[in-house]
Amino acid sequence: MSGARSSRISRAALDRVLRERPGIGPAYLFPSPKTPGEPMTKDLAREWLLEAERLAELPKLAGGAWHPCRRKWATARKHLPLKDVAAGGLEVHRDAAPLLPAAGRGHYS
């Protein structure tokens, strides 16, 4: 199968899935419960996280609500080159500058 034909088949399959599952595509991963066309607020996400910790009878993590998760994410990638860690963080940070200085000093965790 040629690359162009494979690409057309892949695009057709993607278009079919997007038609059949309208929740996939241009939709928020965490939509607002009150207004589905809008994203969930960071305050509501924090409330849900803290409530989940409480219901699971887990201790509150030191260092904030979401920051311990970021530290865990970075620590799990210590073995990777800094440019790869920074590239992964760009999904959130849009700029590698906040990630690289701390990572370069060994402050992943």
Q: What is the pLDDT of residues 1-33, one digit of tens each?
A: 555 666 777 888 888 887 777 666 677 888 899
**Pairwise pLDDT comparison (106 vs 59), residue with the higher score:** 59
| Total domains present in the chain | 1
Q: Classify residue 2: in a domain, yes or no.
A: yes
Expressed as residue numbers, the domain containing 6 is 1-30
- pLDDT for res 44: 95
Task: List the structure tokens of 31.
Answer: 């939509």
CB 93 within 8 A of CB 73: no
Burial call 2-18: b when 16+ CB within 10 Å, e when fewer: eeeeeeeeeeeeeeeee
Bridge partner residues of 39 (DSSP): 31
Cα 57 to Cα 36, 77, 102, distances in angstroms: 30, 28, 32
Q: Classify residue 71: in a domain, yes or no.
A: no
Q: Classify residue 42: in a domain, yes or no.
A: no
